[in-house]
Structure 1
Amino acid sequence: MTIQKFSTIGTVLVGSLAVAASPAQQSSEDGWTMVWSDEFDGSKIDKKKWGFDVDCWGGGNDEQQCYRDGNRNATIENGALVISARREQATGAAWPMHMRGSVQWPNALVTKPYTSARLSTKGKAAWRYGKFEIRAKLPQGQGTWPAIWMLPEKDRYGTWAASGEIDILEAVNLGVPCAKCPGGRENTILGTLHFGGKWPNNKHKGEEVRFPAVLDGGFHTYAIEWGPERITWQVDGKTYAVRTADEWSTTGSKARGAPFDQSFHLILNLAIGGKLAETRGLGGVQLDGYPKRMEIDWVRVWQAPDAKGISAGTGPEQGGK
């Protein structure tokens, strides 16, 4: 979910396909085997599957939220995970845990005007290759930045972005007035890869497409199919982007497929503000309409036989081994 620039390709996805089949049906019909999931059917967030980032770093994007781990910002409601961004001041660590305590990144505090939550499977489950499906309902409003994405369990090829980043779904400022958008409101979704060298020598390749159905107030299924030679992005079962191995690389290795040949974990978060959101749409962050809610109905991870062109890989990998 790191800041990036895109060019609109003009693709319009005008609607959704039928509601996704059950896991058993999908496994039977398509040859996929589900290896990990969270249906959010319990009363509490499963701490064996999800951990929380707790900081006010802003992701390197000048985001305006502090991430917290209490049920005020993340909870289970009616069989769904709900991440709530609230307009309320909070103070916390200026840097993420792995950067704190050095001369360059001291244990400083910072105060931000919003709170939210960022959950990940880091240290609990990570996967190399497969199909990743997340059924979610996204918030609307200027300054909102929901994201479903993946980072490497270990920085095998170096720090960001040499070891890669996979953005399954991002959207900013959904629903705000947009003269170029079908229906006159912002309805763009984005899918992106980050790779290349360590910042600032990083690169990216991504697509952003118009998806008017995202504004219907319902759930939609965002997915990637990730294999050694290609990564495919889908929404409600319809492909809107494909990247192949000859399009990505890393300064950390000459091996074909690197850096996307290692284990990645999943991340779910709702950011407020930041460079990408605040420089688009109406600009800045709209102050009313809080709390903003990102709802996740379920998360499912599948693997397939090699015959489908996607290696079964090694996932899920407990502890990222």
Structure 2
Amino acid sequence: MVAQATPSAPTLTVVAAPNPVGQNDTSTFTVTVDPGLVGETVQLEHKALGLLWSLVDSTTLDGDLQARFAVRQGLLGNYQYRVKVAANANHTAGTSAVTTLNVVVDPTPVAVPGVYGCASATPAVARPGGGSWQCTFSDEFSGTALDTTYWHVAKQGLMTQPKVEKACFGDESTGNVKVDGGSLHLTASVKATATACPANPTKSSRKFGATVWHNVPDGTQPTLQQTYGYYEVRAKLPSLHGSTEGRAVTPPATPTYPTDTAKGLQETFYLWPTTDRYGFWPLSGEMDFAEFYSAAGNLNAPAMHQLSGTTTGGWKSPGCNIDPTTGGAVGGFNTYKFLWSSSRLTTWVNDNPTPCSDVAISGGPFNKGFYLILMQAFGNAETLNEYTLTPGDTPDVGTTEIDYVRVWQ
């Protein structure tokens, strides 16, 4: 008779962001269960009046063995939460440590500490409401290391893309994030065998991507979030995008992207909400002002995610074509520009006066603080842009080089 293995005790990790959080604003509790089972129930409990634990909500683990809860409190103070799972074939019953959510009047850390001198003249685009643009941040990446006072390297384990085989978040130690030669280098690489993710050894992949971002929403470090403004990112795409330009097309009924060159990579420069004020994605918004798939050559395909879904302006607009006829440098550096006002979201490529995309907005979710993210990822099977794992002798699949980032308000 073979003895059955005794289920292990689970590790339940709870991260609340933002924390502190404002009155009546939403904080997202992200729960990870290790080991866990897809679809198993996770319960969130709240300790009322410091006395008894009571059930707040329950949900199930997703494919990443994570669960998420939206938590909102209308009164100032400190609130205690914990999560629980029942015993199953994979683990015994478990209860997390207590997480304290701090609800305050103004949870926003100091926005943009100091004054920056952007290395270029005031933007040529008009400032909504009049007046002159003020530079709030610039980085020319002229040093030898990333300025971690304001930039933060994502290290939470696996990226959301691709769907079939998710990539690890690489960092400086893996060579996926590097400042060299006056540019920030974000690299996608493939290893011969699955390797542990740098910050989460329980996760592994052959694929490694890179993401850097501009905010720590827990109040412990400066944040570069702001509401409305003008952004410029000058960057060169990986060579996997090929030497031909993408051409604007009418999006098909199914998400099959135009095929100009080899498939495999995705790059996005985008703004992400500082808080989930309006609920989980996409309800609180996402502004992808420059987004690329290597299967679509060098075509920029911005997407503004909002309450009503996704608006994709790049597939139809000739202003998104990166080729000599529109002032673009195929295979070279191009400047991706984004104007965010209370009434419009407008993108341009280089000095082409024709907008790449132009979306009218009103009110939420694009009326609160967002921060900047730069991402080098792999494509995903849903867009028929999945990278075939063939590392060979050159494990670096492609690198996005970012010459500068400049932000005004």
The TM-score, its normalising length taken from structure 1, stands at 0.68
AA of the residue aligned to 2:313? E
The aligned residue for residue 193 of structure 1 is 304
Query: Structure 1 24/57 Cα, relative in aligned 2: closer, same or farther at 3 Å?
Result: closer
- Alpha-carbon deviations, 1:185-237, whole Å to 9, x = none? x33211111112xxxxx611011243235673211001110000001011103
Q: 2:121 is paired with a residue of what secondary structure? A: helix
8 Å CA contact retained: 1:194, 1:204 = yes
8 Å CA contact retained: 2:160, 2:166 = no
Superposed displacement of residue 65, structure 1: 1.5
Correspondence for 1:227 among 336, 341, 344 = 341
- Alpha-carbon deviations, 1:137-159, whole Å to 9, x = none? 11143211111111101111111
AA of the residue aligned to 1:83? L
**Counterpart Cα distance in 2 of 1:263 and 1:232:** 17
AA of the residue aligned to 2:179? I
- Alpha-carbon deviations, 1:264-284, whole Å to 9, x = none? 01111111132355x14xx64
Is 1:156 matched with 2:156? no
The aligned residue for residue 139 of structure 1 is 238
Superposed displacement of residue 128, structure 1: 0.7
Correspondence for 2:402 among 293, 296, 303 = 296
Superposed displacement of residue 59, structure 1: 1.5
* Higher RCO, 1 vs 2 (CA within 8 Å, ≥6 residues apart): 1
Correspondence for 2:172 among 55, 70, 77 = 70
Is 1:37 matched with 2:37? no
The aligned residue for residue 205 of structure 1 is 311
CA RMSD of aligned residues (A): 2.6
Is 1:269 matched with 2:383? no
- Alpha-carbon deviations, 1:3-56, whole Å to 9, x = none? xxxxxxxxxxxxxxxxxxx84533599642211111111111000111111134
**Counterpart Cα distance in 1 of 2:125 and 2:157:** 45
Q: 1:189 is paired with a residue of what secondary structure? A: coil
Is 1:241 matched with 2:357? yes
**Counterpart Cα distance in 2 of 1:218 and 1:56:** 31
8 Å CA contact retained: 2:162, 2:378 = no
AA of the residue aligned to 1:138? L
Is 1:112 matched with 2:208? no
8 Å CA contact retained: 1:27, 1:33 = no
AA of the residue aligned to 1:243? V
Q: 2:122 is paired with a residue of what secondary structure? A: helix
Correspondence for 1:81 among 167, 184, 197 = 184
Query: Structure 1 257/127 Cα, relative in aligned 2: closer, same or farther at 3 Å?
Result: same
The aligned residue for residue 317 of structure 1 is none
Larger Rg: 2
**Greater shift after overlay, 58-67 or 69-78?**
58-67
The aligned residue for residue 130 of structure 1 is 229
Is 1:258 matched with 2:359? no
The aligned residue for residue 36 of structure 2 is none
- The count of corresponding residues between Structure 1 and Structure 2 is 242
8 Å CA contact retained: 1:27, 1:34 = no
**Counterpart Cα distance in 1 of 2:373 and 2:167:** 16
**Greater shift after overlay, 289-298 or 124-133?**
289-298
8 Å CA contact retained: 1:168, 1:191 = yes
Q: Which has the larger share of strand?
A: 2
Query: Structure 1 28/64 Cα, relative in aligned 2: closer, same or farther at 3 Å?
Result: closer
Query: Structure 1 210/28 Cα, relative in aligned 2: closer, same or farther at 3 Å?
Result: closer
Q: 2:301 is paired with a residue of what secondary structure? A: strand
AA of the residue aligned to 1:43? T
8 Å CA contact retained: 2:265, 2:387 = no
**Counterpart Cα distance in 2 of 1:28 and 1:203:** 31
Is 1:92 matched with 2:197? yes
**Counterpart Cα distance in 1 of 2:124 and 2:379:** 42
**Counterpart Cα distance in 2 of 1:48 and 1:84:** 22
AA of the residue aligned to 1:77? D
Q: 1:49 is paired with a residue of what secondary structure? A: coil
**Counterpart Cα distance in 2 of 1:57 and 1:126:** 24
Is 1:285 matched with 2:378? no
AA of the residue aligned to 1:73? N
Give unpaired runs (5+ residues) of structure 1: 1-21, 98-106, 179-185, 197-201, 246-255, 304-321
**Counterpart Cα distance in 2 of 1:48 and 1:119:** 12
The aligned residue for residue 44 of structure 2 is none
Superposed displacement of residue 133, structure 1: 0.5
Q: Which has the larger share of helix?
A: 1
Q: 1:228 is paired with a residue of what secondary structure? A: coil
Query: Structure 1 29/215 Cα, relative in aligned 2: closer, same or farther at 3 Å?
Result: closer
8 Å CA contact retained: 1:143, 1:286 = no
Query: Structure 1 172/258 Cα, relative in aligned 2: closer, same or farther at 3 Å?
Result: same
**Counterpart Cα distance in 1 of 2:402 and 2:298:** 19
**Which stretches of structure 1, 4 residues or longer, exceed 6 Å deviation after superposition?**
none
Give unpaired runs (5+ residues) of structure 2: 1-117, 127-131, 217-222, 241-262, 315-319
